[in-house]
Amino acid sequence: MAAVFAMIAVASIVGGGWLVLFGASGSVWAGALAVVAGPGILYLCIHLVRRTRWAWSAVLVLVVLLLGSSLVRLAVTPSLQVAVLAEIAVELALAYYLTRPEVRGAFGRERGEAK
């Protein structure tokens, strides 16, 4: 998972820089946002590898936000799209995996712990 986030971070930095330097009008802000978000994602990757508690929480929050976005898109799409259903299935699988006791324990999160 950390490797995927690292690739996203590097692509975000490079793609954002490209948009800022060579993009059309309107894409400059998106490029600037990508350049700023890239190092943040890279920082998250480092802490995922180190298995810090906040990194587990951050990834779980991201997965829940993605799930919510997919559910909204499923509700507003007039036709049934298989891609949205596949996204929902993957996001539910990720949420299940992250909340398994072995994974929670690896990040220092035991069931019932309020830290």
Q: For residue 40, what pLDDT is reported?
A: 81
45 and 58 together in one domain: no
107 vs 47: CA distance, rounded Å: 10
104 and 69 together in one domain: yes
58 and 42 together in one domain: no
44 and 2 together in one domain: yes
CA proximity to 60, closest of 101, 102, 104:
104
**Does pTM surpass 0.85?**
no
44 and 58 together in one domain: no
pLDDT tens digits, 38-91: 788 788 888 888 888 898 999 899 899 989 999 998 898 888 888 889 989 999
Domain region containing 57: 51-115
Residues 6+ apart with CB under 8 A from 55: 44, 47, 48, 107
Please tell me the total count of domains within the chain: 2
Backbone angles phi, psi at 23, to 5 degrees: -75, 160
Helix 53-76 to helix 27-50 angle (10° resolution) is 130
42 and 58 together in one domain: no
76 and 41 together in one domain: no
